[in-house]
Chain A
Amino acid sequence: AQRVTQPEKLLSVFKGAPVELKCNYSYSGSPELFWYVQYSRQRLQLLLRHISRESIKGFTADLNKGETSFHLKKPFAQEEDSAMYYCAPPSWGKLQFGAGTQVVVTP
């Protein structure tokens, strides 16, 4: 089945350290993937989308067709980045998430 997978359930990093959240996909071609974030006691919200190639809150993600990955990266983690992150499939498919990755940034 076509899906996105996030192999890491928990990432614990120190403030100022780089952080990378892994996302792999099984779609063909160049799927337009998304990253969503859920901060504590807040609703899910869009973090960034592949098509825009924007850097949001210092995060970037690049589609690697060779590795079928869409990893999320930030060079210097901040405490406010502590949240649950979800890689999401293209908008033409059903919005089914993987396991998500909990990021904990410690001072």
Chain B
Amino acid sequence: GAVVSQHPSWVICKSGTSVKIECRSLDFQATTMFWYRQFPKQSLMLMATSNEGSKATYEQGVEKDKFLINHASLTLSTLTVTSAHPEDSSFYICSARVPGLNTEAFFGQGTRLTVV
């Protein structure tokens, strides 16, 4: 069945460095992927919609220069947290819908980012 794979599952980085998170759709092509941030015991907050071959659409309040999204192929979207700071520490999740009408979304396992 369809699977969305995220890598890495966890990462620790120093303040000021950049971190790239990959989201891959396995066994299906995803023209659209979504990136979320989740704080402990809270809902998923949509950060941006990643569109293959075009610019991502960011939600209000999300800095596009800080959270760079690239969706270069139909199976891969990447989120780069640039110049990371401790407040960027969070759980990041991606998802992708199977193309078609009324289709479900599949979610990655998430990436725990800790900025020290």
- Interface residues in chain A, defined as those with a beta carbon under 8 Å from any beta carbon in chain B: 32, 34, 36, 43-46, 49, 51, 84, 86, 88, 90-91, 94-100, 102
Contacts and interface: CB of A to CB of B under 8 A. Distances in A.
Interface residues of B, number: 21
Nearest to B99: A91
Contacts of A34: 104-105
A49 B105 CA distance: 11
B104 to A, nearest CB: 4
Contacts of B93: 43-44
B102 A95 contact: no
A12 to B, nearest CB: 14
Interface stretch (B21-29, B41-49, B64-72, B73-81): B41-49
A85 to B, nearest CB: 10
Contacts, number: 51
Interface string B34-71: 10000001111010010000000101000000000000
A91 B95 contact: no
Contact of B41 (A94, A95, A102): A102
Contacts of B105: 34, 36, 46, 88, 91, 95
Contacts of A49: 102, 104
Contacts of A32: 102
9 contacts: A34-B105, A36-B105, A44-B44, A51-B102, A86-B44, A91-B104, A91-B105, A94-B49, A97-B43
